[in-house]
Amino acid sequence: MDTYSLIALLTLVVSLLILVLLSQLFRNLIRKQIDDQMKDMIPIKAIRERIGIRIKLRK
What are phi and psi for residue 47, nearest 5 degrees? Answer: -70, -40
For residue 41, the model assigns a pLDDT of: 80
Q: What is the pLDDT of residue 20?
A: 96
What is residue 37's predicted lDDT score, i.e. its pLDDT?
A: 82
Q: Which residues of 31-53 are buried (b: 16+ CB within 10 A; e: fewer)?
A: eeeeeeeeeeeeeeeeebeeeee
Residue 55 has what pLDDT? 57
pLDDT tens readout for residues 1-59: 788 899 999 999 999 999 999 999 998 998 888 888 878 787 777 776 777 666 555 55
Question: Quick one: pLDDT at residue 54?
Answer: 60
pLDDT at 19: 97
